Amino acid sequence: MAPSPTVRRLLKETAELSTSAANPAPAFYAQPVSDADLHEWHFTLLGPPSPSPYAGGLYHGRITLPPQYPLKPPNFRFLTPSGRFEVNREICLSISGFHEETWMPAWGVRTALTALRTFMAEQGTAGQVGGLEASADVRKRMAQESRAWRCEGCGGHSNEEIMTEWWQSCRQRGVNVDEEGTDVGLEGLPNGTSLEARDPTKPANELDSPDLLDTRSQQDTSHGETRGLPPIELAKPAAIRAQSIVPLSSTPTPEQIQSRAEAVLTPSEQAASSDQRHVLNFHTGPLAAATRTVEQQVQREQREHQPTLTIDRAIAGVFVALVVMLLKKAFYPARSPGPDFVDGGGGYYLEREF
């Protein structure tokens, strides 16, 4: 039995974010934590560059992917104190599970983390679920302390140890990154991607009035020119949130959603050469583990199917025996007693004919 579309998609994204990827992202590292559960990921993210107060910081967090992924969005939590997000609380964003109506199946873990890093650099958290307000000095101090923060679920390794080894793998793939990651800028998002902090009590259609579209376009243009990035809607105070929302891209057809969800690994990704199989020592090989999980599931189904085959063969044997008996009755009927039977001691016996 073939793996489900969700498992296929998770395997594909695991390969795209692993050390064997052709174009690794130096700004963050993300992989499943457990061999048995592909829906629970941990990530380590490099803070946005200067003049952001998070410059040089390394932040650890969790990604929870629903069983219906990628048709439904993931949820994000930060575990490292940053002064920007509450610790171990889900963040309400347009790319998170708080707003399934704005999620696009074409997006993935890499797109979401790229957007989250850009969103982190923006000011203003008023009204945002999971957001915090802190001074720039406090956030800079937390950024320095974040490098030594350790995750017990990742073998007790610190954020700095995780990213140092990840950057080494990136350099082996031809990606230029220094020892501290200070030269890693903000990565642009795909066209049509938007990100915003949203009020979980308000539906999306309340913020889509025609009067706001022109204002959105003007503000998005100036924002994009300042950053050198595609227009991305980010967190704003509640009073101006409605004036800075970027409309989402058009909804794909069901055929496009299905084809994206059922994306499978290419042969080159499945048969990586020995020099591409380097896995960071604080995570077991998630791709290999996921493959083993699928194989075990197939073997279990085959074992469950085996008794059915045995019963079917027994029924077939009984049927063949009945057919043989019927044919024997039809062509070789039983002979009635006649002169060949002779009384002998109160019984009968059949004389042998010559």
Which residues carry out catalysis? 92
Distance of CA 289 to the CA centre of its chain: 14
Rounded to 5 degrees, φ, ψ at 299 are: -65, -40
Runs of H (alpha helix) within the chain: 5-16, 109-120, 136-146, 159-172, 210-227, 254-261, 267-270, 286-331
Closest alpha carbon to 185 in 24, 45, 48, 28: 48
Closest alpha carbon to 91 in 39, 34, 132: 132
Distance (Å, whole) CA 138 – CA 272? 45
Rounded to 5 degrees, φ, ψ at 351 are: -70, 140
CB 48 within 8 A of CB 122: no
CB 77 within 8 A of CB 88: yes
Distance (Å, whole) CA 186 – CA 138? 22
Distance (Å, whole) CA 277 – CA 40? 22
Region for residue 174 given its phi and psi (left: phi exceeds 0; alpha: psi -120 to 50; beta: otherwise): left
DSSP characters for 301-325? Answer: HHHHHHHHHHHHHHHHHHHHHHHHH
Closest alpha carbon to 270 in 8, 1, 6, 2: 8
Listing from the earlier edge strand, what are the strands of the sheet with 40-46?
28-32, 40-46, 58-64, 75-78
Distance (Å, whole) CA 132 – CA 81? 10
Secondary structure letter of residue 71 according to DSSP: S
